[in-house]
Structure 1
């Protein structure tokens, strides 16, 4: 009897592991397909003339092209949209420092009065790391993270290499970033999906963030869903730091009229 129960338990664990592997492979496949598409058009506003900057940071296995749908909804007079590229083989702390270097340089060259950082998945964690040492205080005026594993994802244990190693739940890197949204002192929105099998909605939210949680959209689909793209575009309008700290986060949903229509699940 004991051996039969043990065998059944083992089979359940194997099935669970296979589901996780399929989810990871599906996410990487979607990212690879997005990378092969045409690049978004260059921003109409040159960086030197920009009054407002929006910096987009892609996720693991993707590239700047993953922002095509989002970048097309951004911009406008005086707004320059920039995509940040990185190599995920480095650790999160190093990638955050490199992002901070670029943001400082962009802000200096543009003289922009507002800078918004938008990061998807691993990119959202890198955005958080870029704000950790405080040197972007007074430069960055708003943050939007999309399906970012700020509390980690169990899938990171399957591929513990480079920055992915830091995405394991309760990793030292993530523990060091836990209070960054509270310390940043700027509006910070954390977008997530209840149907994201890569990053759970609760794992994408930290104290100091304002959660926006949707249904029916997968991890990669969030960047191509009309409702989510519209919400991101609205959030990237110029904003000023409030200096006001927020209380513990609570998960909210998009209004019914703004719910995403696609049902693509990564």
Structure 2
């Protein structure tokens, strides 16, 4: 569904740009043709800029030291490019380009990749390629419905965990981006078998909600509002019946979607701050993939070579 929706949006966006330029130029509105084309072609950059501007003001009093204006501008420029690559190419047109990889059992742990809101498996394309090259079994399902309640993804998470465990015979390493981290927590809260899982790594997941969700109208966006009843109930249930799995939470001080930054952390988890990355661009951080390869047994310790990374935060 997300692929079809983004195909429609991308094609119509391009047709609108071309159509406006052709019409204005044909009617000799030359300046309007150029300015209108630039405006339409950079709409996404304006939206991202507004998000980071809100992030700057909202995060000033957060427990995490705020990012500099220069860092935010760099994150904005990177996200403008990454956003186009992900939402206008990988997800709508190339989401099946990189296949899952389930080789014969070799004693190697498998990795389950769980995407976030308004995404599909295409967001993981570079990861799928690298993990396959390292011989790591990997599954990256597309979870639906995209705009329903978070717990509607629980059956899909359960099926993927069991499929990967059955294929490898080893506990699964779950890596979840954004809303995907909450879907995994909902699965564990709802009776998910923690014995099938080795550990969980979340990336920019709004564990305590996000300020930006106040503008959302979908069921899952309402669940992501800061201090929502759903999030409070989730935390209460986890405290009453802890799953005991090691949790690692990677997050950024330049996240344009999940902010203020500390909402992406969890008590008792290894919370690691990677400075200078926007929400989707964070998946490009080399330290993240290095950490996954290490936990999957495919890379030696000390191989981390990430740009803009900092040591783990205190628990």
Q: Give the TM-score normalised by structure 2.
A: 0.62
> 2:265 corresponds to which residue?
205
C-alpha RMSD over aligned residues: 3.3
The answer for the alignment partner of 1:53 in structure 2 is: 110
Give the direction of change, closer, same or farther, for the CA distance of 1:152–1:97 in structure 2 (3 Å limit): same
The 3-state SS of whatever aligns with 1:218 is coil
Q: Distance in 1 between matches of 2:123 and 2:254?
A: 20
For residues 1-266 of structure 1, what are the structure 2 equivalents within 5 Å? 19-20=50-51, 31-33=86-88, 34-36=90-92, 38=94, 39=96, 41-46=98-103, 51-75=108-132, 79-87=136-144, 88-107=146-165, 109-110=166-167, 112-178=169-235, 180=238, 183-200=242-259, 201-237=261-297, 258-260=305-307
Residues 162/189 of structure 1: CA separation in 2 closer, same or farther (3 Å cut): same
What is the CA–CA distance in structure 2 between the aligned matches of 1:63 and 1:57, rounded to whole Å?
9
Structure 2: give runs of 5+ residues left out of the alignment: 1-48, 56-78, 310-315
Alignment correspondent of 2:6: none
Q: Which has the higher helix share?
A: 2
For residues 224-256 of structure 1, give each alpha carbon's deviation from its aligned partner in whole angstroms, at most 9, with x where no partner exists.
232332233323449xxxxxxxxxxxxxxxx9x
Native 8 Å contact 2:108 2:297 kept in 1 = no
Q: 1:164 to 1:30 in 2, by over 3 A?
A: farther
- Deviations along 1:42-96, one digit per CA (max 9) or x if unpaired, are 3554377775221101111121111122223324677310002112222112222
If the length of structure 1 is used for normalisation, what is the TM-score?
0.72
Cα gap change, 1:47/1:61 in structure 2, threshold over 3 Å: closer, same or farther?
A: farther
Against the structure 1 CA distance between its residues 237 and 126, is the aligned structure 2 distance closer, same or farther, given a 3 Å change threshold? farther
Answer yes or no: is the 8 Å Cα contact 2:86–2:122 preserved in 1.
no
Distance 2:119 2:201 in 1: 18
